[in-house]
Structure formats: C-alpha cells, structure tokens
Amino acid sequence: MTFSRAEYAARLEGVRAAMAEAELDALVVADPSNMHWLTGYDGWSFYVPQAAIVTGAGEPLLWLRPMDAPGAYLTAWIGRESVLTYSEELIQNPPRHAFDSLAADLAAHGLAAGRIGVEMDNYYFSAAAFEALKRGLPEARFADATGLVNWRRIVKSPAEIALMRKAGEITASMHRAVREGMAEGRPKHELVAEVQRAAVLGAPGAFGDYAAIQPIAPSGVEASASHITWNDRPMARGEATYFEISGCHRRYHCPVSRTYHLGEPPSILRRAEAAVIRALEDAMAAAKPGALCEDVAREVYASLARAGFEKASRTGYSIGLSYPPDWGERTMSLRIGDRTELKENMCLHLMPGLWTPEWGVAITESFVVTPQGGERLADIPQEIFVAA
C-alpha cells in the first residue's frame, strides 16, 4: 500500500463530512483519481464503467468489471467482500449499460430512495451512465457532487508531498534527456523516445509511471498551438520547441515546461523569457498561506505587464494524483475570481507562459505552498536552453 491505513481512514472521514454537509446518503465516485485516493485501486481499467461507492458507514465499495476484481485484491486496501462486479455481458453492449447493474446494487444497499451524489462533470460519468442510474432508481434523488472528493485532496499529506518530489526528480531527468538529445536535423520523435525512456526509468528509489498527459512538444509555428504532441519533423536551426512534460510516481505528477531553442533565440524571446522567469519569482513569493488564488494570478499579470507583456488567462491550477486525460486536479485555478485561500502543502502548477501567433515561451513550475511562499517541487534550470 502506498499510504498508511490511518491516512486512508482520514481521507474517508473527510469525504463523509463533506457528504454529510451535502446531505448525501451515498456518493458514486467514477473519477479514477478519486477512486485511487480513497481505496488505492490502480489499473488501466477506467475505459470501462467502474466506480467507488461511499455510504454512511463501513469501507468504500469498489464496483468493477469482473476481470478487474483481482487487480483490486492486489492494489486496494479494502476487503474482498467490498469488491462488487457486474456482468461481462454489459461491456460495450448497448442498449444495456453497466450502470443499470450499479443501480440494482445501490438499491440492494438500501439506497433506492436515497440521496445520491454523482460526479456529473467527469470523463468517466457519461450522459448515458446518468440516464441508466435515473432509470434504475426512479425514487432516488441525485445531487451533483462533481469535485466533492477532489476538493478534499487539495492539501497534501507529507507522504503525498514526498511522492510529488519524487515525481519532480523524474521530471528533471526527462528535461535532462531533452537537453542532452536536442540536435539540429534530428527527427523530433527520436528525442521524445529518450524522454519517454527517462520517464519510466524514473529517479533513484522511484520508478516512473505513465503520466496522465503525454509529452506536449510543439516546434516552430506549432508552438503557437498549446497541445500539439510530436511528429517526425527534423528539428531546425532558429526554431523554438517547448516541452510540457511530467514525471509520474505512484500516480502523482509534477508537470514542468521548458523552452528549447536551436541557435541563439531572437531578442523578443529573450525579453519574454526574462519576463516569465520574473513572473514565476513574483508569483511564488506571493503564494503563502492566506493568499487567494486570484492574488497569485494578479502577481503574474502585474509582473508580466511591468515587462510590457499582457496576459489575462488562467495561469495555473492544482495538481497531485491523476489518471489520463488530465494531470490537473480540477479544483482551484490561478485566475481572477478564484478566491480559494492557499494553505500550507497545497500544490499547484504555475504557468505564466506567453503565446502569440508567431512564438511561444513556456517556462512553468510546480510548487508546494509553504509559509515562506511557493517552493519548487523540481529543480530544473529555468532559462531557455540553447542547443548548438
């Protein structure tokens, strides 16, 4: 088990407190990150219906495809009797839906007329899943509990911070692979291959896991696009490439972006680089307990404005445990209007990047909130790396 029994018990207790506040009899957790955080269950099984169910007492239940029950026995702390399965016949076999079976299981647990929280806005709770639950439990009342568990995750435990620092060591190793491998004329996928190798080799004492987002690595004009991955085009002199990548250890992430350039960058990139690095410093200095998320965002915007650059969009978000397709925690954001108060041991990915139709500079940091301000979770040179 990755965490102690006591830590899992505390998590469950906190979720139950939030459920009580929302007047929920049960919570259906379809987000695999939340499932893992509550039970320890790990496996690439989230492409089929599955959920954790929290009721008012006892262990959480895991509700899985039959062939995934053995994976739960191996990875989750709950007892075998807490693992429920549905019929294999329900896999990708419309008009039947696996959530028809979950509805029956919930009714069998006395929840037919209960008030049930569901994560309405999650990749793993489709519109059809909700329709099946409503059809199968006509007497139940459903409440939107999107983010209920996620918001319980925002302050990390010491054990979680330790995993995130390990992920940060892996991220550093991945960026080292970029620095060592970038060369004029080299097809970019050959470089990404070395980055992926470093991602899994990991760091001393920490094997690398798959990240929830695969490498984002646009070059040249592609760098105006935010989420281009990679291709086989040879890297060219005069082109910037940015790598937005994260190491992952036991599902915890530490994303960090850096900008690379073949040959000396033009002066506008150097000006943007200085402005972004300064904005990182200014924002992290302000990221102390008691500051609001929007305060930190304002530091970014003001710092960039002093250097003559304008930015108004979201400039960061909470990070931690995650599964594909997003390594963000989907709770607080660094932007105007987010008045979440920072607390010690929250972790955020700070992104004061600048993009224009012609160029982009991405230099970001993942940090943990400390009484002295934001402390970097990975130690990676910030400057644009100039490859010969």
Q: Which of residues 288-347 bind its own copies (CB under 8 A)?
A: 313-314, 317, 324-326, 328, 330, 333, 337
Pair 191, 175: CB distance under 8 Å: no
When asked if residue 355 is in the footprint of its own copies (CB under 8 A), the reply is yes
Contacting its own copies (CB under 8 A), which of 21, 81, 139, 232?
232
Distance (Å, rounded) from C-alpha 370 to C-alpha 347? 10
Q: Residue 154 CB, nearest distance to its own copies (Å)?
A: 14
**Is residue 88 involved in binding its own copies (CB under 8 A)?**
yes
**How does 345-358 read in b/e, with b if 16+ C-beta sit within 10 Å?**
bbbbbbbbbbbeee
Query: What distances in angstroms separate CA 343 from CA 1, 98, 117, 371, one per listed residue?
Result: 27, 40, 27, 9
CB 244 to its own copies: min, Å: 9
C-alpha–C-alpha distance, residues 230 and 233, integer Å: 9
Stretch touching its own copies by CB under 8 A, among 5-13, 102-110, 182-190, 263-271 = 182-190
CA–CA distance, 253 with 167 (Å, rounded to integer): 6
Question: How many residues contact its own copies, by CB under 8 A?
Answer: 79
Q: How far is the CB of 218 from its own copies (least distance, A)?
A: 8
The answer to whether 180 contacts its own copies (rule: CB under 8 A) is no
Interacting positions 136-165 with its own copies (CB under 8 A): 144, 146-147
Q: Is 255 in the site for its own copies (CB under 8 A)?
A: no
User: Residue 137 and residue 147: Cα distance in Å, rounded?
Assistant: 23
Among 74, 108, 159, 305, binds its own copies (CB under 8 A): 74
Binding mask 24-63 for its own copies (x = CB under 8 A): ------------------xxxxxx----------------
CA-atom Rg of the chain in angstroms: 22
Shortest Å distance, C-beta 307 to its own copies: 21
**236 belongs to the binding site for its own copies (CB under 8 A):** no
Q: Residue 62 in contact with residue 41, Cβ under 8 Å?
A: yes
Nearest of 55, 71, 61 to residue 115 by alpha carbon: 55
Report the nearest approach of its own copies to the CB of residue 188 (Å): 8
In terms of CB distance, is 359 or 376 closer to its own copies?
Answer: 359
Within 8 A by CB and 6+ apart from 266, the residues are none
